[in-house]
Chain A
């Protein structure tokens, strides 16, 4: 009952939409600087965008009046995650041990530092997402358990979920591959998306209430892979909110094929399309219905799309279910 109430509350933040096809229209393309290995992105409450790198303490920043400027922050490490505290204050999770640098858009080289209060048995943070008033973090402990916590700015933490590698060993493409999750934010809650098949996602409130569990039907994952009989090696990108629906990219690491999964607002029928292009989606901003993607040909490009519902696109996909 509580979960139903929470779900109602969360969905109330989002505008109603027609429940049809999702159309993505490309509105801008920016080439990433040489050597900038994009790792994640975050939108501020008013739509400013930060993209961070997995290889250097460098951020790309843009807002309504500034287009993709570089910001360096004083660290010898690339961040685990970056997020906005508000429109001008940025929190940078700078190490897997929970060190956070708080800086500003105008003075990124000036910062104050604080330590994320992680549970005692946490060995390291593997990924995180900044939410309003809290971090959602994935930690590994010495027993091999991957645990997801919400860590409140006001103090205290709540365990949202935990996963043990042995529970997923049959799904891993190699017996030594690691168990991993993506974290993303939706309506103030934390979404945990598993890297590997069957690609479950779990949507929690910061209080630890499971709002929704999503999982694509197995037959929606067909249709990718290189010629020559190799088995596709599928891995998921984060589950992202699009109004009260969700979109997720499933990538075939052995080819350029990508499955885009759409969980429509009413969840009545999961839609999907197979693209034959090296592209993925990794952030959304609902107020302007903006979705951020990356395309990797010989150069890596940041793509901004506008989403809309219903008809309006006559370009038929090559493969559709």
Chain B
């Protein structure tokens, strides 16, 4: 898990190389464009995270603060109403390094396991719904 987490952090927070043109290539092979969030931020598409757009400070080192910002900037929601990967994966990776980060910085992430009575409650509650 820690290895995966490290890879994700490196992938997501890789230092970008800025050129004079509007389009850039970062060290992870992403194609990047100037970002709308502010000076020094970029949107990138990664071939191994197809379709994913992230907004990354190109001068960032792998600091916790930057990772938190990255997780929030890449926030997307899934059809079930939870975080969408890879922001979720990144957050889990960070929390695996330091649970305090998971609680304080990325407090929206929860690690849940469903079994037994809780699972049965969910099935019952969602089988018939009246609004």
Contact = CB atoms under 8 A, between A and B. Distances in A.
Interface of A: 21-26, 37-41, 54-57, 75-80, 94-96, 123-124, 126, 140-144, 173-174, 176-178, 180, 195, 226, 230, 233, 235, 237, 247, 249, 251-256, 258, 260-262, 271-273, 275-282, 293-298, 300, 303, 305, 313, 315-318
A300 B80 contact: yes
Interface in B68-91: 69, 72-73, 75-85
A23 B128 contact: yes
B50 A77 contact: yes
Nearest to A272: B131
A32 B77 CA distance: 17
Given A55-B50, A142-B36, A124 B43 contact: yes
Nearest to B46: A77
Contact of A39 (B78, B83, B127): B78
Describe B's contact surface by its main secondary structure.
mixed
Contacts of B21: none
A280 B51 contact: no
Contact of A247 (B79, B85, B131): B131
Interface of B: 33-34, 36-37, 43, 45, 47, 49-53, 55, 69, 72-73, 75-85, 107-108, 110, 112-115, 119, 121-122, 125-131
Contact of A177 (B45, B72, B110, B122): B72
A277 B73 contact: no
Contact of B77 (A237, A255, A279, A298): A237
A117 to B, nearest CB: 19
Contacts of B51: 54-55, 77-80, 94-96
A17 B112 CA distance: 40
Contacts of B53: 96, 124, 126
B114 to A, nearest CB: 4
Contacts of A177: 72-73, 75
17 contacts: A37-B84, A41-B79, A75-B50, A177-B75, A180-B76, A237-B79, A251-B82, A275-B129, A276-B122, A277-B122, A277-B125, A278-B80, A278-B81, A278-B112, A295-B80, A298-B115, A305-B129
Nearest to A249: B81
Contacts of A78: 50-52
Given A96-B51, A144-B37, A276-B121, A315 B128 contact: yes
A280 B79 CA distance: 6
B122 to A, nearest CB: 4
A25 B76 CA distance: 28
B45 A77 contact: yes
A24 B131 CA distance: 8
B127 to A, nearest CB: 5
Contacts of A298: 113-115
B77 A317 contact: no
Contacts of A96: 43, 45, 51, 53
Contact of B36 (A94, A141, A300, A318): A141
A280 B119 contact: no
B78 A21 contact: no
A95 B45 contact: yes
A140 B72 contact: no
Given A23-B129, A178-B55, A294 B50 contact: no
B61 to A, nearest CB: 17
A262 B122 CA distance: 21
